[in-house]
Amino acid sequence: MVSQPLDTLPSTEDLPCSDDTPVDNEDQNLLPNLLLLSLASLWSTRMDWFFAVDMAVYHTTGISPKVPVVPDAFLSLGVERKKNGKSRKSYAVWEENGTVPTFVLEMVSHRYDDEYDEKMALYAQLGVLYYVLYNPEYWQRHQHQPFEVYRLEEDGYRLKIGEPYWMPEIGIGIGRGRQVVGGIEQEVLLWHDAQGKAYPLSEQIIADMQIDISAERQKAETERQRAEAERQRADRLAAYLRSQGIDPDTIT
């Protein structure tokens, strides 16, 4: 555990916002964002919470305050939705009055990333109350269930029984359901009320999500085109240098 005066800790303005690790499949980005948009609708009048997708969480319980953990999604309670009226680039616990996330979601994919081991231990050390693991395709590989909710107790995380699972400290439940998204029916994660009834995704939420997905795809295509243009420029420069009798590989 790092012990460091708060005024010497780095600002989120100076820290990376994520680990820039590409997702294994589109659901890793889609499902957490659907939860975000749904919660923004359900809790639209509340300003005391923050839900983030693929955002770095910086803390002082690890080897360095500059080494974050990056959940697929997390929810913090008792913090501003917009910190000082602005969007966060990352989440530093020391800039949030010591408030750690109450809820963390990890989506296990083909590229296993220690969600059942090191990450679970780290979240427990950090003090995350609820840890949700969604593993619809590879759960048998890991000898777990496709959907699991863990609650932090005195002796560590304990697997909870029942789905959807109601989280009284948060005031909402979570579970799986079927939903048509972009014209395709698929399994998604949904918020639930105290009676176990799902809050279905509205057509507007799905439409907004499709706009976000289209924007992300356009961004990725633009980046691909930029990289291809850079490669072609480098190839032309290398060809010119060789025509002048210069080996481009010897230039540093």
**Which uninterrupted H or E stretch holds 179?**
strand 172-181
Average predicted confidence (pLDDT) for the chain? 85
Evaluate whether residue 245 is within a structural domain: yes
Residues 91 and 104 in one domain: yes
- Per-residue pLDDT tens for 101-124? 999 999 998 777 789 999 999 999
The stretches of the chain forming alpha helices (DSSP H) are 27-42, 118-126, 203-243
- Average pLDDT over every residue of 47-69: 89
Structure tokens at 169: 């400290």
Domains in the chain: how many in total? Answer: 2
Single residue among 200, 222, 239 that ends a domain in this structure: 200
Q: Return the SS3 of 134.
A: strand
Q: What residues make up the domain containing 231?
A: 202-252
Residues 208 and 104 in one domain: no
Residues 210 and 177 in one domain: no
Q: What are phi and psi of 92, to 5 degrees?
A: -105, 120
Single residue among 200, 215, 230 that ends a domain in this structure: 200
**For 1-5, 70-74, 146-150, 176-180, which range has the lowest pLDDT when averaged over its residues?**
1-5
Evaluate whether residue 1 is within a structural domain: no
> Is this structure's pTM higher than 0.85?
no
Evaluate whether residue 183 is within a structural domain: yes
Evaluate whether residue 85 is within a structural domain: yes
